Amino acid sequence: MISAGDFRNGVTFEMDGQVMQVVEFQHVKPGKGAAFVRTKMKNVITGAVVETSFNPTAKFEEATIERKSMEYSYSDGNLYYFMDPESYELIPIDESLLGDSFKFVKENMVCVVMSYKGKVFAVEPPNFVELVVTQTDPGFAGNTATNATKPATVETGAEVKVPLFISEGDKIKIDTRSGEYLERAKG
């Protein structure tokens, strides 16, 4: 059990059958009346953010979220299969749980599969990936005076804005959290 007075950023707990994670908290002691804890929390399953105040003595069941590194193997329709590196078991995960940043993941990449009480609710891709540009317009010499960009399609089919000097066949590094081009990859 955890009390609201013990809340810290990142703490996960169960409230009304939902798994919540503390995003921000503030202990408030007004001049008059009882102290309270103002909390901004996120539902880890749905992603909804809620702001609520609690009595510091309010008790909640602590929620343990399991984070397991698994290798993305292949997709079959709406199911994406991830392999457990210890048991070599393939686990199917529905496309709806993958999130927008999964478009940068290719086969054999290791992702973090998050679950609560055995139920998978999210897949976190690596923060940075290196992908080959499969299609982009050619850049023109002398067009580099400004930070001009052009669209490029990478090997997973995702589209990224890249600088004009990037051409087809180049390997680029992408931040999967923002979907932004970072740099030309070495090698």
**60-75 tens-digit pLDDT:** 888 888 889 999 999 8
Tokens found for residue 164 = 């004009």
The residue written with tokens 């409230």 in the block is 15
**Domain 2-62, CATH number (from 2.30.30.30, 3.30.460.10, 2.70.180.20, 3.40.50.920):** 2.30.30.30
- Residue 166's pLDDT is what? 84
CA distance 73 to 4: 41
CA distances from 164 to 125, 150, 161 (A): 27, 6, 9
* Overall residue count recorded for the chain in this entry: 187
- pTM metric for this prediction: 0.70
CATH 1.10.1670.10 fits 128-184, yes or no: no
Instruction: Answer yes or no: are the C-beta atoms of 155 and 129 closer than 8 Å.
Output: no
Residues of the chain with pLDDT under 70: 139-146, 187
Both tokens of 130, joined, read: 């290196």
- Enter the CATH code of domain 66-124: 2.40.50.140
Residue 103, both tokens = 């478009």
Rounded Cα gap, residues 37 and 127, in angstroms: 33
| Whole-number pLDDT of residue 114 | 85
174-175-176-179 Cα dihedral, nearest 10 degrees: -80
Query: What are 121's two structure tokens?
Result: 């609710």
Q: State pLDDT tens for residues 40-61.
A: 998 887 778 899 998 888 898 8
In the three-class reduction of DSSP (H, G, I as helix; E, B as strand; rest coil), residue 149 is classed as strand
Nearest to 178 by CA among 156, 158, 163: 158
| CATH 2.40.50.140 location in the chain | 66-124, 128-184
Is residue 103 classed as helix, strand or coil in its secondary structure? Answer: helix
